[in-house]
Amino acid sequence: MSNLINRRKFVTGTALSAAGILMSDRVLGMHHAGETSDASVTESVASKYNLMKDVMKYRKLDSHVHAHLFDGGPEGNIAFADRLGIDKMFVSLPAYHGVGTPQEFRSFNDLMLKCMKQYPDRLIGQFTANAIYQKESIEEIKRCVDLGMVGLKVYTQLKINDPLFYPIIEKMIDLKMIIHMHAYTQLGLGGYRMKYDTGIRPNTSIPEDFVNIAKRYPEAMFQYAHIGGGGDWEYACKSFVHYPNIYVDTSGSNNPENMIDSAMKLLGEDRLFFGSDNCYYQSVGKILASNLTENQKKKVFFDNYNEILKKSGRNVD
């Protein structure tokens, strides 16, 4: 990166450094009577950090991303995948709008299948369903799996621990595939300061719902969506400490400085998946800025989700 300057350039080259570290008193204006500047600053500034090299160093599987939802068709997904070195995206289109009738969820899955055909080496669909329609959902899951989709993505039609979900979860256990559920926690939601009304859909799954279903089905795998999605990520991660079949993806538009380190500390290095939820810059930036080790970053960006895929034989080479 050209913004990173070596010592010689810093001292002799730029207008700023030509004034030398005189910048400190003359430009920055801090008043330090009788003090001189510390020349060693010029050395410490000369970091060789290259962000884009760091970005491209890690293979990435995006475990939470949508097409035809926020920002158009799959061309936009691929453009950002190329920009940020994302190998494959697991795209979904849950029933974000509407009631999620069988006709609707089949059409959403068809759209994802179309995306897969358009970019067969880059996009893999996560199928959606609606457990209110159990028979149709089971049939749809079989159809989608046969066509190469992997993993269930569901929204707010039902809570994850609703008994209507049980047959669907049992089907997913048979398939050895993960159940990826939209989720949220914030003031006013669930047991968290109920007096606030924030207008969240009443059937939104909260951490307590995940814990409830994870205890009932310890052999199932659950993906708590987007800890960076605006909800209280600390609350969620603390809720899941003792439930190893609950995984979280790090997607969402929020990128608090300590989120990744804190989630790793609470959940360990096997239960975090890289995801964007189409917030591409934050999704990569917050992991690279974390204090994770090289191996932990590799696991979060790629290996952890691939281990889930491996259980159903759908892993990426």
Partner 1 sequence: MLIDINAYVGNWPFQQLKYNTCEALYERMNKFGVDVSVISNLNGIFYKNTQSANEELYKEIRSNRRFKDRFIPYAVINPIYAGWQDDLETCIKTYGFKGVRLYPRYHDYEILDPACIELVKRVRDYGLPVAFNYRMVDSRERSWMDISNMKGNAIREWNLKNILPIVNAVPDAKYMILNFANAAKLDTEEMNLVKKSDLLFDTSGRTITNMSDFLNLYGSDKFAFGTHSPILDYLTGLLRIESLHSNEADENTKEMLRSGNAKKMLGF
Residue ranges that bind partner 1, judged by CB under 8 A: 1-5, 14-16, 21, 23-25, 27-32, 35-38, 40-41, 44-45, 47-49, 51-52, 55, 71, 83-84, 186-188, 193, 196-199, 230-233, 253-261, 278-282, 284-286, 288-290
Q: What is the CA radius of gyration of the chain?
A: 23
130 vs 278 by CB, closer to partner 1: 278
98 vs 256 by CB, closer to partner 1: 256
For the bound state, the minimum distance from the C-beta of residue 156 to partner 1, rounded and expressed in Å, comes to 16
Beta strand spans in 16-122 (E): 61-66, 88-92
111 vs 236 by CB, closer to partner 1: 236
240 vs 280 by CB, closer to partner 1: 280
Q: Which helix (H) or strand (E) is 162 found in, with range? A: none
CA distances 45 to 3, 9, 27, 169, 192, Å, are: 11, 11, 17, 54, 45
For the bound state, the minimum distance from the C-beta of residue 155 to partner 1, rounded and expressed in Å, comes to 18
For the bound state, the minimum distance from the C-beta of residue 268 to partner 1, rounded and expressed in Å, comes to 20
3 vs 313 by CB, closer to partner 1: 3
For the bound state, the minimum distance from the C-beta of residue 17 to partner 1, rounded and expressed in Å, comes to 8
For the bound state, the minimum distance from the C-beta of residue 19 to partner 1, rounded and expressed in Å, comes to 8
**Nearest one of 97, 168, 102 to 131, comparing CA atoms:** 168
Cα 137 off chain centre by? 26
Q: For residues 259 and 230, what is the distance between their CA atoms, to the nearest angstrom?
A: 12
CB atoms within 10 A of CB 101: 15
